Amino acid sequence: MDRFQKRIIKAINHRESCSLRNNTMMHNSHDTGNEFTGKLFVNDQEIATIYYTHAWHDSSRNLHGGTLLYSDFDHKGKEDYAYIRAIENDKWEIDEISFNETAINRVLGSNAVRYRNLLTKHFGGQGVKIKNVKYVTV
């Protein structure tokens, strides 16, 4: 797994947006306009949609998707980073990842296929439902 793939996995787990030098972008719920989805783009083609279990603004979740909230900690010192250290390994729960096979075939090179295989292996092993959808273009 290269550094670009590690960064995409982190972006999906923490529901972040990022744009990488290998023409790969991750859009979070703010970018997609849907509180339950994120999207992965390779060479400006939307190759995957990630469906999360909880909405972006779910008040029972912290910034990284865990259940520890800011109010659960005693913040006495000015430089109290216990909360940040406690939530840095939290992840958002993912229901499903849907791959757009038509877009994957449209992308030149092997990058889109590599990301499909990476996400299928990584998240499929965690029990996330994986769907490969072939959209018909007219």
For the chain, how big is the Rg over CA atoms in Å? Answer: 17
27: Cα within 13 Å, side-chain hemisphere: 19
Query: What pLDDT does 80 receive?
Result: 63
pLDDT by residue for the chain (138 residues), tens only, comes to: 899 999 999 999 999 999 999 999 999 988 999 999 999 999 999 999 999 999 988 888 887 888 877 777 766 665 667 767 778 888 999 999 999 999 999 998 899 999 999 999 999 999 999 999 987 765
What pLDDT, on a 0 to 100 scale, did the predictor assign at position 125? 92
Q: Report pLDDT for 130.
A: 96
Q: What is the pLDDT of residue 36?
A: 95
Q: What residues contact 93, with CB distance under 8 A and at least 6 apart? A: 52, 53, 54, 65
pLDDT, position 44: 93
Specify burial of residue 3 (Cβ count, 10 A radius: 0-12, 13-18, 19+): exposed
> Alpha-carbon distance 95 to 113, whole Å?
21
Dump pLDDT digits (tens) for 106-127: 998 899 999 999 999 999 999 9
Q: Where are the domains of the chain?
A: 3-133
The letter for the amino acid at 82 is: A
